[in-house]
Chains A and B, each alone.
Chain A
Amino acid sequence: MQRTRMFQKLSLAMLGFGLAAGAAAADIKLGAAEALTGPAAKYGIAIKNGFTLAADEINAKGGVNGNKLALVAEDEQGKKEEAINVFKKLIFQDKVLLVFGPTLSNSAFAADPIANAAKTVVFGTSNTADGVSAIGPFVFRNSVMEADVLPVTTRAAVKQFGIKKVAIVYGNDDAFTKNGYDVFKSALESQKIAVTNTETYAKGDVDFKAQLTKIKAANPDAIVCSCLAEEAANIIVQTRSLGMKQPFIGGNGFNSPKLFEIAKDAADNTVMGSPWSAENQAPANKSFIAAYKAKFNAEPDQFAAQAYDAMYIVADALKKVKLSGSLDKDRVALRDALPNVKHDGATGKFAFRRAKDKSGKDAGYDAQQDAIVNIAKGGKFVLLK
């Protein structure tokens, strides 16, 4: 009798063990195609860190419905061609459930159609250009579009400094900075702010003095700059070296510790709108910052924060998905679960908003989130009240 019961227990335990082993084998593979080398690596690496941190936290708490999240990160080098290759590898070879990335909007336009055609969710955490989510119904992003952030930023700056006329500087050979310029331009038009002159530069330029000298002659009240952090910092430094004191108005690209590493307090009075701020004291954000610093021994930035939130958003959606084991079905099930996720994370309250394509039909999903307007004081951004 005793023996039979023991045997029963043992077989039950073995059954349980077998089940557990089966579940462990069903790790949920999530792909990340980010620029881990090349000029965009500063964003890509922060993004990968954000994913890793969130996935580790989720796994440490038992994963999603008992399944562990496994991140498959690949380097797309910030190049369109590489992004396409890496997307194909992740989707068809590694058979991931979802692809995060790519890092740049430029690459998203090239690679996202592949994921969309393969009915696999592509989740951008750093693509802010217009039209990315118009690619198709499998395209998601939690990066707030410039079109939502910049008008709020200019309005706040105009109020702060009593601005009547501005000059604009932007990089004209990059989807992100060009798109930022378009948004700024229409925002300035609708807010009836005159533009004295519009100057451009190309990727890799380091000397902006010719353009800035021209702006100096026009003497605007502020300089609107649709640039990435390092160019922005150099533009600010060179503006000051020409004896100009105008405040700067910038977009997402300004939101990096790099800005102050290069420009220091020359950047004071720069007004910048962003979806994330290190100054945001919400508990989710504070714990994110502390965990990031502890794990990577570096200051997190907006890109890490958005990636971190994205992983939690996907985990939330996965909780509602009953994995069938058929990759195609599970990919579509995840796609159907994602739009209902509401999240309150490091970047604040978040929901998805349906995007339209060019013909007005429903396409992918954009972020519905409020922008935070910051102003630079003493070498860092503080909230602009």
Chain B
Amino acid sequence: MLEQQLINALSLGSVYALFALGFTLVFGVLGVINLSHGAIFMLGSYVALLLVNHFAMSLWLALLLAMLTTGLVGLLVDFLVLKPLRARNAPHLTPMIATIGVAIILTSVAQGLFGAENKRFPFGTIPEGSFTLGNLHVTAVQLGIVLISFLLMIVLLLVMRRTQLGRALRAIAESPKAASLLGINVEGLFLLTSFAAAALGGAAGVLVGLSFNAISPFMGQPMLHKGIAVIILGGMGDIRGALIGGLFLGFAEVMSVAYLSSDFRDAVAFGLLFLILLVRPSGMFGKILERKA
């Protein structure tokens, strides 16, 4: 059974990691804890569901369009909410609280439009395939989640480390003011970051919707809590940290169910989180009081 539990942990951890990726990106560059990320994530799965349901679109296309749509919503949120606050030099807590408002609005809108109940992708649209190796069962969706999470993370890391764009973003992360003095279009890159982060959140939403059949207006909230834990664990704003932190949380949860009791799942997972933060207060990859993209 250990092998099966390892696979369970890997797929759960990848979901957390994928969600945390966009979350941590916004923090790394904008220095904002964007609490509407959970709602954006939820929106992603609804957009894909609508496209598949009403336009009989293929899943891949729906995934891309959902990323585009949530990206635009993220852009809009940045433009309408975060940008005015930046322009007024609002203290750090203000944008965080503002994004709670955004999350409530998005959740209520989704509930008004789609209803409170759980939805799922129609039968026949989800790849039903699964691989069986002896006692081991892996579904195609599980495999897809792991692969797409890793793929998106590698792309993001490469952009950040190897391109001019990444260099500019890292400069902004160090100091937006200095970056702007160096001729970097800070506002433009802020918008781009918000777009990319929301698109990543949307992708996570689609994949979670596919694998757990539980698309509801409220699906973002529990994920947001886990996401916060993951990026704190990984080191705020660190991309590798989001992946490792996500996988760590997934493994901690699954293994505490497997070897202790499901009653202790969150207690063990968050207890470990606390212990790690005692030893490394800035998380696994973070440096104290320093943002890093």
- Give A residues with C-beta under 8 Å from B: 37-42, 45, 172, 199-207, 209-211, 213-214, 216-217, 230, 233-234, 237, 241-243, 258, 261-262, 264
Contacts and interface: CB of A to CB of B under 8 A. Distances in A.
A7 B115 CA distance: 60
A230 B117 contact: yes
Interface in B108-161: 108, 111, 115-118, 120, 123, 130, 132, 135, 137, 139
Contacts of A243: 132, 135, 137
Contacts of A38: 116, 218
B116 A41 contact: yes
B106 to A, nearest CB: 14
A264 B117 contact: no
A262 B214 CA distance: 8
A42 B9 CA distance: 32
17 contacts: A39-B116, A199-B262, A200-B262, A203-B222, A207-B12, A209-B8, A210-B262, A211-B257, A213-B258, A214-B257, A214-B262, A233-B118, A233-B213, A237-B213, A262-B213, A262-B214, A264-B123
Interface centre among A200, A209, A214 (most CB of B within 10 A): A209
Contacts of A210: 5, 8-9, 12, 253-254, 257-258, 262, 265
A38 B8 CA distance: 30
Interface string B245-268: 000000001100110011101100
Given A234-B212, A258-B118, 20 more contacts: A41-B115, A41-B117, A172-B263, A199-B262, A202-B266, A206-B208, A206-B214, A210-B5, A210-B12, A210-B254, A210-B258, A210-B262, A210-B265, A213-B5, A216-B1, A233-B118, A237-B213, A241-B130, A243-B135, A262-B213
A45 B265 CA distance: 33
Contacts of B94: none
B214 A258 contact: no
Contact of A230 (B12, B111, B214): B214
Contacts of B254: 209-210
B4 A213 contact: yes
B242 interface: no
B216 interface: yes
A209 B115 CA distance: 27
Nearest to A258: B117
A204 B1 contact: no
Given A39-B116, A241-B139, A234 B213 contact: yes
A92 B257 CA distance: 48
> How big is chain B's contact interface, by range?
35 or more
**DSSP majority for the A interface?**
helix
A37 B111 contact: yes
A204 B132 contact: no
Given A41-B116, A211-B262, A242 B257 contact: no
Contacts of B118: 230, 233, 258, 262
B219 interface: yes
A350 B254 CA distance: 46
A162 B263 CA distance: 30
Interface of B: 1, 4-5, 8-9, 11-12, 15, 108, 111, 115-118, 120, 123, 130, 132, 135, 137, 139, 208, 212-214, 216, 218-219, 221-222, 253-254, 257-258, 261-263, 265-266
A213 B1 contact: yes
A152 B226 CA distance: 40
Nearest to A38: B116
A272 B208 CA distance: 29
Contacts of B222: 203-205
Contact of B116 (A42, A205, A264): A42
A147 to B, nearest CB: 23
A115 B98 CA distance: 38
B213 A39 contact: no
Interface centre among A45, A204, A243 (most CB of B within 10 A): A204
Contact of A207 (B116, B135, B212, B219): B212
B126 to A, nearest CB: 10
A172 B257 CA distance: 14
Nearest to B118: A230
Contacts of B15: 207
Given A39-B218, A237-B213, A243-B137, A217 B1 contact: yes
A331 to B, nearest CB: 32
A38 B216 CA distance: 10
A200 B265 CA distance: 9
Contacts of A42: 115-117
Contact of B214 (A45, A199, A209, A234): A234
Contacts of A204: 218-219, 221-222
Interface centre among A39, A210, A262 (most CB of B within 10 A): A210
A210 B261 CA distance: 10
A201 B266 CA distance: 10
Contacts of B4: 213, 216, 242
